[in-house]
Amino acid sequence: MKSGMLIGIVSLIVLVGCKNEDIRPESVRPVFYQEAGSFHRNDTMVSSGVIQSATEAKLSFKVGGLIGKVFVDMGDTVQRGAVIARLDATDYQIQLDRASASLKNAEAQLETARSAFARVGNLYVNNHVSLSDYEKARLQADSSESMLKTARSQWEAARNQLEYTVLRAPFDGVVTAVMARENEMTGAGLPIVLVATAQQLEFKTTLPEKMIGQITRGADVTVSLHSIPGQTFRGYISEVSPGVSSASSFPVIVRLTGDVKGLLPGMTGSVEIPLERNQGDSEKLVVTVDAVGHDKEGDYVYVASDSNEGGVYVARKRLVSLGELLPEGYEILHGLEQDEKVITAGLSFLYDGRKVKLLDAEE
């Protein structure tokens, strides 16, 4: 009996000792933070986009037919009047030849009718032919003249149709797309190539609905391109589209000014746009988006409170009321005071009362 009790006491002591070994002090978690409202709010925003030509044309034939030859490839530079493509003009040449023959025949008939009318006119003056014969000759001459006008119009139309089988560049530019190939059938008005001028370039971007009211048409901007690092290009906002492109974003066009040599349509980059601030914006308390969490209780942040333990802070969960989403982050309406230390990363690893060590963004 005593032996059994002794064994039980020893076992309990061993178990308690094991539990004491498992209980370790919780580590202090390092976190990044910001002081609410203490950071500089930008008066500009950066948006990505692409360079496009201010003048761009989809070139097409005015007539249909079989494409005989395409003389350009994408990226080729063309001069105004340069031949872009040709149709097989065999049928159009035949039509022109027929029209030419009809025109010559009409010219000959008119010449004959005029000669006959002149002869009959002399006879009529001398009373050798009747008025009826005179009128008949005059009507024949008038009819021949009308036939000549019709034949000439048909010849001009056939000549134009033949000329339309040659597609020419309307201005100096760069071929940005080729949409048809040789030996393909095409119709009048169907695009063959896309040509853009390289002298007048634009930068197209899209801005969210909230930002449209903060930009000004005519405002000077700066464009940077991924393919030309370290160099910026000047421009101004020339257009703000009234229509939504997608997902409540609005197209904005920047006209590039100054030297655009070396720039080509299709280059991607970003534009820095100045924003107009409302008078009350400077009074808003704003924290970065990453500092705000969301759960079933609502929106919250973690505020670092000093624990008086020599650089150790305690994370305190604080429910907040959010205002509008600004380029710098969320506006805080209630629940946070100016200059409070707000934890900005790793919210999923925190809980109310967790000990933390504050790190600067540079660390």
Residue 138 contacts by C-beta under 8 Å, 6 or more apart in sequence?
A: 117
Per-residue pLDDT reduced to its tens digit, 204-214: 999 887 788 88
Average pLDDT, the chain: 85
Residue with token string 């009318």:
117
Classify 293 as helix, strand or coil: strand
Weakest-pLDDT range from 176-190, 239-253, 317-331: 239-253
Q: Are 117 and 138 in contact (CB under 8 A)?
A: yes
Using the predicted structure, report yes or no on whether residue 296 has a pLDDT greater than 80: yes
Q: Looking at per-residue confidence, does 289 or 109 come out higher?
A: 109
Percent of the chain topping pLDDT 90: 47
Task: Give the integer Cα–Cα distance in Å for 18 and 164.
Answer: 96
Using the predicted structure, report yes or no on whether residue 22 has a pLDDT greater than 90: no
Using the predicted structure, report yes or no on whether residue 180 has a pLDDT greater than 70: yes
Q: How confident is the model at residue 25 (pLDDT cuts 50, 70, 90)?
A: low
Per-residue pLDDT reduced to its tens digit, 58-77: 999 999 999 999 999 998 98
Number of other CB atoms surrounding residue 245 within 10 Å: 13
pLDDT of residue 258: 83
Using the predicted structure, report yes or no on whether residue 40 has a pLDDT greater than 70: no
Per-residue pLDDT reduced to its tens digit, 122-153: 898 888 888 998 899 999 999 999 999 999 99
Using the predicted structure, report yes or no on whether residue 286 has a pLDDT greater than 80: yes
User: What would you report as the CA-atom Rg of the chain, rounded to the nearest whole angstrom?
Assistant: 42
Work out the burial of residue 22: count CB atoms within 10 Å of its CB; fewer than 13 is exposed, 13-18 middle, 19 or more buried: exposed
Query: For 47-52+199-274, which CATH superfamily applies?
Result: Efflux pump adaptor protein, beta barrel domain (2.40.30.170)
Q: How confident is the model at residue 186 (pLDDT cuts 50, 70, 90)?
A: very high
pLDDT of residue 69: 96
In this prediction, residues 291-318 reach a mean pLDDT of 88
Task: Give the integer Cα–Cα distance in Å for 48 and 329.
Answer: 19
Q: How confident is the model at residue 278 (pLDDT cuts 50, 70, 90)?
A: low
Weakest-pLDDT range from 40-49, 223-232, 285-294: 40-49
pLDDT of residue 215: 87
Query: Which CATH number applies to 65-87+166-196?
Result: 2.40.50.100
Residue with token string 């660390």:
363
DSSP one-letter string for 100-140: HHHHHHHHHHHHHHHHHHHHHHHHHHTTSS-HHHHHHHHHH
Domain at 89-164: CATH architecture: Orthogonal Bundle (1.10)
Token pair for residue 335?
């629940």
Q: How confident is the model at residue 288 (pLDDT cuts 50, 70, 90)?
A: confident
DSSP one-letter string for 143-162: HHHHHHHHHHHHHHHHHHHH
pTM confidence score: 0.54
Query: What are the extents of the domains in the chain?
Result: 29-40+282-360, 47-52+199-274, 65-87+166-196, 89-164
Domain at 29-40+282-360: CATH architecture: Beta Barrel (2.40)
Number of other CB atoms surrounding residue 217 within 10 Å: 11
Q: How confident is the model at residue 39 (pLDDT cuts 50, 70, 90)?
A: very low
